[in-house]
């Protein structure tokens, strides 16, 4: 209420002052206009009388002069006419001037120096007057002065009228604006804030209600944002507390973000540093604004709770087009933007370095080499040089960030940084270093194709801990080291002894964030049938059965093999034609690499060929969606599908399979899973297939569609239990725990890798 009164008072004072200034200028302008008009009329009258008065004055006929002034002295607003001699004495005046005092002096000298008349505004008695003096001439000399007097009181009256109208206008404007202001404050600010406050009060009291519309005015945007952040934090804290209480009650040992934070805080003796190519927050320009968003990444989901818990530092490639605008002079910024809890350090690469290090050596060389998916790896000397330069840049950034940090832990992510562990370890032997290899590790013969395999292995063995998804990949790595380098393999401990240092090799199967329910309390989630109908309608299709595949368009994902399996299924069981649709969500990836660019065209052509073969009415068997989809967009497809198909030709883990299982809260749906994924070691209730066997793929589709509902539920329930127990937080917690327990030999000599 006080705020409203103050605002109204300021409005009244402000409007009054502004109106006063405007009105004063208006009065002045009106006054100037009326005076100018009066002067012009006086001048015209004086000049017309001059032609009559001068001859009479020359003859010296005062009687004629009196008749002239009397005749012209009766005009509208004309107070009178007076004729003076050169000395200022009255020669003749109109009768209307007899009751008025005359001016004390006539400006004869000014008339002598000026070629025109003299205009003056003065007061005669109490009356405002205008006087216009015009010299009368007899040949070259002044023979007299003609004075025209006008009543100027109407000008004052007009000014007073304007001021009166202004006062009433001010009163009306103030009342109207105050009324509008009160309504605006009430409806746009007070009411939404009151609703928001009540909602927050209910939320604090545990009563969950739909969030009211928050104020959208610019000056209230920070308030609205903080309300959203507060509600989210409160909900997360309450959910975490409820989950912890439930786990204690049931005796379960489920890993949650809160448990991960507690575990990390209890095990870390120093600071935590993470290095990855992908950054957890990216700044991009959208029009004139710069926006921060989180790239889709399971890595961010897994590692961010750790960094938040210990105020760590994430070192990553700054790839957003507005990333440089967001950092300070040391290329750092605090994140998340709405609640800063850890530091993001960005490393800059030139376009040539990015092309050689990322697209070239990493994704045209190491990626196909490790996946063994019948795509020939390409190794170029220039790419290798860029790979070394990029690793060196990241090493320098990491060492700079860790300067002065004792008992530091460094987690390096993926195949982009095989050289980084050795570079860091040589400069800082006291730092515990781990690298997690997110893709498969091939057998020694396959990895031996790489011309620089020894340098890569030596770089990896700079780490204290090397992690893979599966034990098979650990075994392949140890066998590769044994075949390529002079070292001692300790199979009983799964460790490598080289250069008086020990590197441990362990499997850490990565997973996803498993949430029990994403629906708001009291809100009924749509059924798979309702979701399926809605999704297909949006695609312009009708179908009774729905399958889904979610992949990057990558040659390792077996998308072509999957489409041919669907074609074979429709050949063998034609009854499903017109009733079954498969939605393939394929995000374009690395399209600057020719193999990826060509693959996208192949997938589109194969999909079009199969659709053309079986097309009928408003049905087609394959709906190909080749654009990037957010997790929120993909989730309804997971929940609506009769099955999800993963046909990777070689995959370290494949999180799509686990995402699908985690999304099926109804315990429905079936998972068709390639035997060449790491996920098959955990998801044993999936329908495991060889994606190269087209008939087996077709059989699995039929089995998934015709499986008994009870069996489907039992299978999904068991898989959900596995994903829930072995979620992404457990992966991160085990990795940190293993690294924290490794003993560091601080007497190891420091080598100069920079040279």
> Beta strands of 49-200 (E only): which ranges?
78-84, 90-93, 118-124, 127-138, 141-151
**C-alpha to C-alpha distance for 365 and 477, rounded to whole angstroms:** 17
For residue 497, the Cα-to-chain-centroid distance in whole angstroms is 48
Helix, strand, coil abundance in the chain, percent, nearest 5: 50, 20, 30
**C-alpha to C-alpha distance for 85 and 589, rounded to whole angstroms:** 106
C-beta atoms surrounding 142 within 10 Å: 14
Given a cut of 70, whether residue 461 has pLDDT beyond it is yes
**C-alpha to C-alpha distance for 268 and 740, rounded to whole angstroms:** 7
Terminal-residue alpha carbon distance, the chain: 71
DSSP tag of 648 = -
Task: Place 589 in a pLDDT band, splitting at 50, 70 and 90.
Answer: confident
∠ Cα 458 319 659 (to 5°)? 80
Residue of 670, 651, 650 lying closest to 661 (CA atoms) = 670
**C-alpha to C-alpha distance for 228 and 336, rounded to whole angstroms:** 14
For residue 230, give both structure tokens: 């507060």
Buried b (16+ CB within 10 A) or exposed e, 418-452: bbbbbbbbbbbbebbbbbbbbbbbbebebbeebeb
Task: Provide the H-helix boundaries in 485-558.
Answer: 528-538
Q: Report pLDDT for 681.
A: 94
Higher local confidence (pLDDT), 592 or 472: 472
Give Cα separations from 678 to 2, 504, 651, 652, 657 (angstroms): 65, 21, 6, 5, 10
- pLDDT tens digits, residue range 298-327? 677 778 878 887 889 999 999 888 999 999
Contact 525, 665 (CB under 8 A): yes
Contact 416, 277 (CB under 8 A): yes
Mean of the per-residue pLDDT values for the chain?
Answer: 85
Given a cut of 60, whether residue 137 has pLDDT beyond it is yes
**C-alpha to C-alpha distance for 197 and 227, rounded to whole angstroms:** 9
Residue of 358, 363, 351 lying closest to 387 (CA atoms) = 358
Contact 409, 271 (CB under 8 A): yes
- Region 552-562 average pLDDT: 94
**C-alpha to C-alpha distance for 503 and 421, rounded to whole angstroms:** 11
Given a cut of 60, whether residue 247 has pLDDT beyond it is no
Residue of 470, 481, 484 lying closest to 676 (CA atoms) = 470
Task: Place 613 in a pLDDT band, splitting at 50, 70 and 90.
Answer: very high
Buried b (16+ CB within 10 A) or exposed e, 705-715: bebeeeebbeb
**C-alpha to C-alpha distance for 629 and 464, rounded to whole angstroms:** 37
Residue of 489, 494, 502 lying closest to 429 (CA atoms) = 502
- Region 457-462 average pLDDT: 97
Contact 476, 446 (CB under 8 A): no
- pLDDT tens digits, residue range 144-160? 888 888 888 888 888 78
- Place domain 528-725 in its CATH homologous superfamily: Glycogen Phosphorylase B; (3.40.50.2000)
Residue of 264, 260, 258 lying closest to 239 (CA atoms) = 258
Q: Is cis: bond before 336, omega within 30 of 0?
A: yes
**C-alpha to C-alpha distance for 618 and 485, rounded to whole angstroms:** 61
- Of all residues in the chain, what percent carry a pLDDT higher than 70? 87
Choose the CATH number for 2-157 among 3.30.70.270, 3.30.450.20, 1.10.10.10, 3.40.50.970.
Answer: 3.30.450.20
Does this model's pTM top 0.75? no
Residue 289 backbone phi and psi in degrees, to 5: -105, 155
Residue of 431, 649, 695, 655 lying closest to 554 (CA atoms) = 649
Element housing 645 (H / E): strand 643-646
Higher local confidence (pLDDT), 174 or 493: 493
Q: Report pLDDT for 754.
A: 36
Task: Place 384 in a pLDDT band, splitting at 50, 70 and 90.
Answer: very high
**C-alpha to C-alpha distance for 443 and 453, rounded to whole angstroms:** 12
Q: Report pLDDT for 4.
A: 62
Element housing 284 (H / E): strand 282-286
Q: Report pLDDT for 746.
A: 40
Three-state SS for 166? helix
Q: Report pLDDT for 214.
A: 60
Residue of 232, 277, 328, 320 lying closest to 438 (CA atoms) = 277
Contact 317, 349 (CB under 8 A): yes
Element housing 753 (H / E): none
Given a cut of 60, whether residue 668 has pLDDT beyond it is yes
Given a cut of 70, whether residue 27 has pLDDT beyond it is yes
Pairing of strands 501-507, 118-124: unpaired
Task: Place 186 in a pLDDT band, splitting at 50, 70 and 90.
Answer: confident
Q: Report pLDDT for 748.
A: 42
DSSP tag of 211 = P
Q: Report pLDDT for 432.
A: 95
Q: In which residue are the tokens 């004390």 written?
A: 104
Non-local CB neighbours of 88 within 8 Å, separated by 6+ positions: 105, 106, 108, 145
Given a cut of 80, whether residue 126 has pLDDT beyond it is no
**C-alpha to C-alpha distance for 57 and 82, rounded to whole angstroms:** 13
Pairing of strands 289-293, 141-151: unpaired
Higher local confidence (pLDDT), 433 or 197: 433
Buried b (16+ CB within 10 A) or exposed e, 296-335: eebbbbbbbbbbbbbebbbbbbbbbebbeebbeeebbbeb
Given a cut of 70, whether residue 212 has pLDDT beyond it is no
Q: Report pLDDT for 674.
A: 97
Element housing 679 (H / E): none
Given a cut of 50, whether residue 702 has pLDDT beyond it is yes
Given a cut of 50, whether residue 559 has pLDDT beyond it is yes
Contact 495, 503 (CB under 8 A): yes
The burial class, CB within 10 Å (0-12 / 13-18 / 19+), for 251 is: exposed
Q: Report pLDDT for 47.
A: 81
Non-local CB neighbours of 677 within 8 Å, separated by 6+ positions: 646, 648, 651, 653, 654, 657
Higher local confidence (pLDDT), 442 or 128: 442
Higher local confidence (pLDDT), 194 or 501: 501
Three-state SS for 283? strand
């Amino acid at each position: 209420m006080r705020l409203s009164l103050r605002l109204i008072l300021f409005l009244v004072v402000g409007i009054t002052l502004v109106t006063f200034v405007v009105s004063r200028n208006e009065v002045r302008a009106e006054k100037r206009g009326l005076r100018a008009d009066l002067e012009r009329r006086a001048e015209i009258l004086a000049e017309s009388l001059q032609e009559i008065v001068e001859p009479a004055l020359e003859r010296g006929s005062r009687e004629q002069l009196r008749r002239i002034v009397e005749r012209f002295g009766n005009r509208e607003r004309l107070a009178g006419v007076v004729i003076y001699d050169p000395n200022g004495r009255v020669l003749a005046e109109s009768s209307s001037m007899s009751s008025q005092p005359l001016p004390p002096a006539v400006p004869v000298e000014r008339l002598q120096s000026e070629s025109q008349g003299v205009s003056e505004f003065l007061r005669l008695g109490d009356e405002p007057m205008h006087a216009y003096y015009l010299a009368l001439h007899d040949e070259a000399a002044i023979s007299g002065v003609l004075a025209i007097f006008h009543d100027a009181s109407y000008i004052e009256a007009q000014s007073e009228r304007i001021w009166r109208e202004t006062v009433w206008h001010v009163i009306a404007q103030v009342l109207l604006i105050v009324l509008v202001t009160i309504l605006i404050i009430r409806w746009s600010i007070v009411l939404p804030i009151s609703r928001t406050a009540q909602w927050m009060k209910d939320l604090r009291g545990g009563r969950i209600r739909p969030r009211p519309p928050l104020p959208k005015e610019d000056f209230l945007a920070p308030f609205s944002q903080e309300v959203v952040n507060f509600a989210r934090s409160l909900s997360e804290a309450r959910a975490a507390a409820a989950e912890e209480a439930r786990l204690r009650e049931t005796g379960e040992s489920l890993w949650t973000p809160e448990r991960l934070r507690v575990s990390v805080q209890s095990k870390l003796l120093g600071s935590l540093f993470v290095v990855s190519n992908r950054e957890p927050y990216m700044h991009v320009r959208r029009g004139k604004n710069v926006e921060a968003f989180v790239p889709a990444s399971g890595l961010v989901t897994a590692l961010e709770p750790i960094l938040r818990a210990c105020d760590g530092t994430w070192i990553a490639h700054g790839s957003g087009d507005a990333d440089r605008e967001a950092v300070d002079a040391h290329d750092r910024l605090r994140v998340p933007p709405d609640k800063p809890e850890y530091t993001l350090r960005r490393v800059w690469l030139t376009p040539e370095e990015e092309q050689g290090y990322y697209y070239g050596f990493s994704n045209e060389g190491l990626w196909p080499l490790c996946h063994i998916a019948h795509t020939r790896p390409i190794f170029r000397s220039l790419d290798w040089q860029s790979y070394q330069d990029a690793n060196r840049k990241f090493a320098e950034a990491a060492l700079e960030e860790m300067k002065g940090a004792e008992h530091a832990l460094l987690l390096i992510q993926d195949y982009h940084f095989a050289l980084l562990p050795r570079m860091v370890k040589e400069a800082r032997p006291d730092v515990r270093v781990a690298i997690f290899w997110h893709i498969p590790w091939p057998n020694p013969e396959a990895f031996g194709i790489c011309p620089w395999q020894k340098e890569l292995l030596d770089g990896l063995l700079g780490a204290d801990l090397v992690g893979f998804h599966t034990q098979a990949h650990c075994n392949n790595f140890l066998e590769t080291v044994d075949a390529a380098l002079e070292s001692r393999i300790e199979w009983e401990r799964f460790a490598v002894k080289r250069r008086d240092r020990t590197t441990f090799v362990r499997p850490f199967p990565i997973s996803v964030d498993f949430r029990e329910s994403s629906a708001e309390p009291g809100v009924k989630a749509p059924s798979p049938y309702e979701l399926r109908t809605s999704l297909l309608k949006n695609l312009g299709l009708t179908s009774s059965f729905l399958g889904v595949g979610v992949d990057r368009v990558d040659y390792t994902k077996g998308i072509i093999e999957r489409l041919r399996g669907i074609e074979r299924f429709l050949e063998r069981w034609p009854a499903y034609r017109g009733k079954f649709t498969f939605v393939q969500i394929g995000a374009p990836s690395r399209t600057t690499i020719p193999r990826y660019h060509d693959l996208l065209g192949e997938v589109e052509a194969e999909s079009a060929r199969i659709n053309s073969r079986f097309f009928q009415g408003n049905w087609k068997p394959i709906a190909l969606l080749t654009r990037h989809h957010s997790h929120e967009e993909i989730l309804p497809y997971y929940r609506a599908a009769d099955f999800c198909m993963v046909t990777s030709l070689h995959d370290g883990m494949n999180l799509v399979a686990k995402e699908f299982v985690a999304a099926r809260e109804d315990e429905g749906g079936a998972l068709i899973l390639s035997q060449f994924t790491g996920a098959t070691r955990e998801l044993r209730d999936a329908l495991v297939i060889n994606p190269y066997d087209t008939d087996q793929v077709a059989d699995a589709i039929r089995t998934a569609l015709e499986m008994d509902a009870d069996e489907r539920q039992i299978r999904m329930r068991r898989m959900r239990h596995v994903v829930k127990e072995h979620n992404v937080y457990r992966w991160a917690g085990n990795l940190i725990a293993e690294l924290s327990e490794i003993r560091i030999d601080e007497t190891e000599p420091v080598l100069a890798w920079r040279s």
